[in-house]
Amino acid sequence: MDIQSIRNYQQESKLLAREQGLTEFVPSHAIVLDKIVTHAMKKGHIPPPPARVLDLGSGDGSAMGVFACHGYETFGIDVNPTLVSRANAFAKTMCVEGVVPPRFAAGNYLPIELRSAFWPVPHLLLGGDDGFSALGMPAQAIDLFYAFIRISQSASLKRFFSSCARKGAKLLSYTNPITSLDFGVEVCAFDEILVECERIAFRGIYQVLEKK
């Protein structure tokens, strides 16, 4: 599985999502994400493989495909069971030598007690069962969380990370300022625990936080 094949798969997913009205789902750009992962690994911003990475809102599973190609052990949680089925079917295509195929579960990554903490946030879904129970793995077991977000989701993401991640875990968030509905809003919303914020290529801005 190469990155261009993952990008092609994302293009199919986008068409499918449009046909089925899955408006919450927009995939990361696999080629830009690959550049981000390569860069962040080289700079030591993220733990090296085979660390455990979990995609918060994993959609079609393609982002974890990119991390799996780099040797990470990968997982995802998404509230939409149609996308989770698609992601698990995609994972089967990654059963090749040297790659641990990703594993996906349907549910909400926010624990129930945190969900009431938010005013309605665009594109942050608050329904569904607990995603970590469905995955059979606690959030504390994850070394690196990944999220492709709109800026309006950054506060809820930070709240999740502060409450649920273990000490030393990292959160890599990728924002595409071109497609973000929040284009123009300040990007560095996580300043107090920001490890790094870099712009990679034209369309990639990533931030890495560390849980203190």
Tell me the CA end-to-end span of the chain in Å, nearest whole number: 36
Please report whether residue 125 would count as binding ligand SAM according to CB under 6 A. Answer: yes
Residue 33 contacts residue 27 (beta carbons within 8 Å): no
Please report whether residue 139 would count as binding ligand SAM according to CB under 6 A. Answer: no
Among the listed ranges 55-63, 165-173, 178-186, 190-198, the one in contact with ligand SAM (CB under 6 A) is: 55-63
Chain position carrying tokens 């990533």: 206
Please report whether residue 101 would count as binding ligand SAM according to CB under 6 A. Answer: no
Q: How many residues bind ligand SAM (CB under 6 A)?
A: 23
50, exposed or middle or buried, with CB in 10 Å at 0-12, 13-18, 19+? Answer: middle
Name residue 13's amino acid: S
Among the listed ranges 58-66, 175-183, 192-200, 204-212, the one in contact with ligand SAM (CB under 6 A) is: 58-66
Among 108, 175, 176, 207, binds ligand SAM (CB under 6 A): 108
Name residue 149's amino acid: I
96, exposed or middle or buried, with CB in 10 Å at 0-12, 13-18, 19+? Answer: exposed
Q: How far apart are CA 202 and CA 177, in angstroms?
A: 9
Among 6, 37, 63, 172, binds ligand SAM (CB under 6 A): 63
Contact track, ligand SAM, 21-50, x by CB under 6 A: ---xxxxx----------------------
Among the listed ranges 36-44, 72-80, 176-184, 188-196, the one in contact with ligand SAM (CB under 6 A) is: 72-80
Among 40, 45, 57, 200, binds ligand SAM (CB under 6 A): 57
Q: How far apart are CA 122 and CA 132, in angstroms?
A: 22
CB atoms near residue 120 (< 10 Å): 6
Q: Least distance (Å) from ligand SAM to the CB of residue 150?
A: 8
Among 72, 104, 148, 190, binds ligand SAM (CB under 6 A): 148
163, exposed or middle or buried, with CB in 10 Å at 0-12, 13-18, 19+? Answer: middle
Applying CB under 6 A, the residues found at the interface with ligand SAM are: 24-28, 55, 57-59, 62-63, 77-80, 83, 108-110, 124-125, 131, 148
